[in-house]
Structure 1
Amino acid sequence: MTSVDRIPRPHGGKLVNRFHSAKMNIDGMFSIEVSNDLRNDIENIADGIFSPLEGFVGEDDFQSIVKSGRLNSGSAWTIPIILDVDHETAIKMKDAGEVLLKTGNQHFGTVNVEEIYSYDKGFVAKMVYQTNDPKHPGVDKLIRLQDRLIGGKIKVLIKIPQSPLRRFRVSPLETRSQVQKRGWKTMVGFQTRNVPHVAHETLQKTAMNIYDGLFVNPLIGKKKPGDFKDEVIVRAYETLVENYYPESRTMFGTLHTEMRYAGPKEAIHHAIMRKNFGCSHFIVGRDHAGVRDYYDPFAAHKIFSDYPDLGVEPLFFSAFYYCKKCLSYASEKNCPHGPELREELSGTKMRKMVSSGQMPAMHLMRPEISKLIIAYKEPFVPE
Structure 2
Amino acid sequence: PRVAPPPPPPPPHTHPSGGKVQGLELPSRVFPCATPAEVRATLPANADVLAFQCRNPIHRAHYELFIRALDAPNVQEGAVCLVHPTCGPTQDDDIPGVVRYRTYEVLKAEAANPRLRWAYLPYSMHMAGPREAIQHMIIRKNYGCTHFIIGRDMAGCKSTLSGEDFYGAYDAQNLAGDNAAELGMQTVPSLNIAYTEEQGYVTADVAKEQGLTTLSLSGTKFRQMLRGGGDIPEWFAFKSVVEVLRAAVKEEEEANN
Normalising by the smaller structure, the TM-score range is: 0.7 to 0.9
Alignment pair present for 1:196 and 2:37: no
Aligned to 1:136: none
Distance 2:23 2:239 in 1: 42
Change (3 A) 1:264 1:339: farther
- SS state of the match for residue 214, structure 1? strand
In 2, are the aligned partners of 1:195 and 1:237 still within 8 Å (CA)?
yes
Aligned to 2:141, which of 275, 279, 284? Answer: 275
Distance 1:231 1:241 in 2: 15
* CA RMSD between the two structures: 2.9
- SS state of the match for residue 51, structure 2? strand
Alignment pair present for 1:314 and 2:187: yes
Aligned to 1:354: 226
In 1, are the aligned partners of 2:194 and 2:207 still within 8 Å (CA)?
no
Distance 1:336 1:303 in 2: 29
How far does residue 184 in structure 1 lie from its aligned partner after superposition?
4.5
In 1, are the aligned partners of 2:153 and 2:167 still within 8 Å (CA)?
yes
Q: Percent identity?
A: 28
Aligned to 1:250: 116
The one-letter amino acid of 1:372's match is: V
- SS state of the match for residue 26, structure 2? coil
Aligned to 1:215, which of 70, 73, 82? Answer: 82
How far does residue 312 in structure 1 lie from its aligned partner after superposition?
0.9
Distance 1:359 1:155 in 2: 52
Residues 204-213 or 357-366, more deviating = 204-213
How far does residue 242 in structure 1 lie from its aligned partner after superposition?
1.1
Distance 1:159 1:176 in 2: 18
Aligned to 2:247: 375
Change (3 A) 1:363 1:188: same
- SS state of the match for residue 175, structure 1? helix
5+ residue gaps, structure 1: 1-93, 99-111, 114-152
Aligned to 1:328: 200
Change (3 A) 1:172 1:360: same
Distance 1:341 1:95 in 2: 77
- SS state of the match for residue 358, structure 1? coil
Distance 1:379 1:258 in 2: 24
Distance 1:197 1:364 in 2: 6
How far does residue 322 in structure 1 lie from its aligned partner after superposition?
0.6
TM-score by length of 1: 0.54
The one-letter amino acid of 1:241's match is: K
TM-score by length of 2: 0.78
Distance 1:356 1:232 in 2: 19
How far does residue 234 in structure 1 lie from its aligned partner after superposition?
0.8
- SS state of the match for residue 334, structure 1? helix
- SS state of the match for residue 377, structure 1? helix
Distance 1:95 1:289 in 2: 47
Distance 1:178 1:282 in 2: 18
In 2, are the aligned partners of 1:323 and 1:337 still within 8 Å (CA)?
no
> What does 1:146-161 align with in structure 2 at a 5 Å threshold?
156-161=23-28
The one-letter amino acid of 1:316's match is: P
Say which structure is richer in strand. Answer: 1
Distance 2:107 2:46 in 1: 22
Change (3 A) 1:164 1:341: same
